[in-house]
Amino acid sequence: MRLILLGPPGSGKGTQAQRLVHRHGIVQLSTGEMLRAAAAAGTPVGLQAKEIMSNGGLVPDEVVVGIIADRIEEPDAKKGFILDGFPRTVPQAEALDELLRKKHLKLDAVVELRVNESALLARVEKRAEETRARGEEVRLDDTPEVLTKRLAQYRSMTEPLIHYYSERRKLLTVDGMMTIEHVTREINRILTALGALEPKEHEEPKSASKASKTAKKTAKQTAKKATKKAAKSAKKAAKPARKAAKGASKAVSKTKAAKKAAKKIVKQPAKKTVKKAAKQAARAANARKGAKPAKRLQKSSRKSELNARSG
């Protein structure tokens, strides 16, 4: 991912650049720092820049482009970089395009942080008043007067870059007056939509990853505790139900036993009654059988008595 951040002084370019560096593992290339580092390293371009700066002159664009060319060849810039403070003019932008073409690299996007200049001035004035109220000295470069000059310089020199990159369909505009978090999210959203972020770049930084793991572990433990607690509560709540079910089962068993006993009780007298009735019937039958001979005897006796009287 190779980016340029554009915006007037106080728009938050430095803050957003640092956030992109930490999130995506790319490097922030500041022309001032690169010039000083090249001079300290004693490279041919660095020595040339050092001589010009020591004489109070402005380093020519070709020297700055040469230093950038050396810097982006270093290992830490392989994943990508953000250019800070360069390009400032259209000729510098053209020189950068040529450099990237030669190295077979492409610029992914130019992100413009658009802000309200009046709001920036009001913000600086308020900050200066608060600094004085604390009894501290206001920095010379942090006053409304200095900011006004820097804004005028930005409009005349750097603002034409907005049109330059817009024509090449590289410009993406973000509302720099939003909160820092909102601006960061919006930049990442548009870079993702462009495909400028590779899969690895979507990964969280180590600290975020560690925090994520800790959060997952905590959530797991909390869920486990909650499950145990819920199971315990459910078991406790189910106890009366189990007791009631047990009581109902006993009642059912008792009812069955009672029915069985009742059946037995009803059945036994019935059997006895049948047996008794059978005995009585048998006795009656026997009695009837015994009475027939007696009747015959009585009849015969009467007949004999009548015969005697008539003789």
Q: CA-to-CA distance for 115 and 9, rounded, in angstroms?
A: 10
Q: CA-to-CA distance for 194 and 185, rounded, in angstroms?
A: 14
Give the number of C-alpha atoms closer than 13 A to the C-alpha of residue 241, restricted to the C-beta side.
5
Out of 19, 36, 88, 114, pick the active-site residue.
88
The CA-based diameter of the chain, rounded to the nearest angstrom, is 199
Name the CA dihedral angle for 98, 101, 105, 107, rounded to a multiple of 10 degrees: 50
| Position 240, amino acid | P
| 235 part of the active site | no
Q: Which residues sit opposite 2 in a β-bridge?
A: 81
Q: 111, 4 in Cβ contact below 8 A?
A: yes
| 150 part of the active site | yes
Out of 2, 13, 23, 170, pick the active-site residue.
13
| 132 part of the active site | no
In Å, how far are 213, 238, 296 from 110, measured between CA atoms? 35, 65, 147
Q: CA-to-CA distance for 8 and 151, rounded, in angstroms?
A: 6
Q: CA-to-CA distance for 236 and 134, rounded, in angstroms?
A: 63
| 127 part of the active site | yes
> Can you give the three-state secondary structure of 115-135, one letter per residue?
CCHHHHHHHHHHHHHHHHHCC
Out of 132, 139, 260, 279, pick the active-site residue.
139
CA angle in degrees (0–180, nearest 5) for 46-48-49? 65
Neighbours of 3 (CB within 10 A): 25
**Parallel, antiparallel or unpaired: strands 171-175 and 2-6:** unpaired
Q: CA-to-CA distance for 138 and 124, rounded, in angstroms?
A: 10
Nearest CA to 7 out of 127, 166, 173, 126 is that of 173
| 185 part of the active site | no
Known catalytic residues are: 13, 88, 127, 139, 150
